[in-house]
Amino acid sequence: MLLLAGLGNPGRDYAGHRHNVGFMALDAIASRHGFSPWKKQFKAETAEGFLESAKGRVKTLLVKPQTYMNLSGDSVQAAAHFYKVDLEDIAVLYDELDLAAGKIRVKTGGGAAGHNGIRSIAANMGEGFRRIRIGIAHPGDKTRVTGHVLGNFTKDDQAWLVPTLDAIADAAPYLAAGDDNGFMNKITALRGEADPRKDKPKAETPKAEALPAPAAKPKTNSPFAGLLGRLTGKAGNKTES
């Protein structure tokens, strides 16, 4: 069994925060792969389903802790203990300040790098779980970090956020197969297909100055675009990081 935990803070007021991109990623996976409705257990919202992978159909539990970020480990540990999921079969999706917006990196183990949710899980269970870090970019000034992380994604952010969530949902079966490289390669391929500049022939002689490429538009057929649009603009500052 695979346990995918997405990190965030509970409640409608916080749903659009950058800190909640882990929740958004699980919503995308659940929608794309036909998981069960969300239910409350283990101080979390959970959904069950299967991911079709190279190893066959892998039963998967999605966990969104409802304990606030700094107690995420309580929920993840309870769910893992109940279903007897080994640490190496747990992957956590969460926001990463030190990655450019929309960039994704996967690693196993390591420090928390200041992320309270990861720190909580590691303190409860050890560090040997997989981490899927989703870049939200650094605001450039450490005094603005809290407001950035605990602020809503903007309408402009949807240009990269919606395709990123779509790519994570499409590539999730590779996580079920334990194929982290395949997961990253699939996401790279999906982004390449979505970028029209990839299909243009290269000029034989490079130009001294090139016009900037137009900003990518979010997929209009994505099931998450409408939801993210409704979340954009909602303010909420009373949350715990």
The catalytic residues are 19
Distance, CA of 164 to chain centre: 8
Give the list of residues 6+ apart from residue 206 with CB closer than 8 angstroms, or none: none
Q: Which two tokens stand for residue 147?
A: 């407001």
> In 3D, which of 58, 55, 37, 34 has the Cα closest to residue 46?
37
Give the list of residues 6+ apart from residue 31 with CB closer than 8 angstroms, or none: 169, 223, 224
CB 134 within 8 A of CB 101: no
Q: Which two tokens stand for residue 195?
A: 């970028």
Instruction: Could you list the beta-strand ranges (E) of the chain.
Output: 2-6, 39-41, 44-53, 56-65, 90-96, 104-108, 130-135
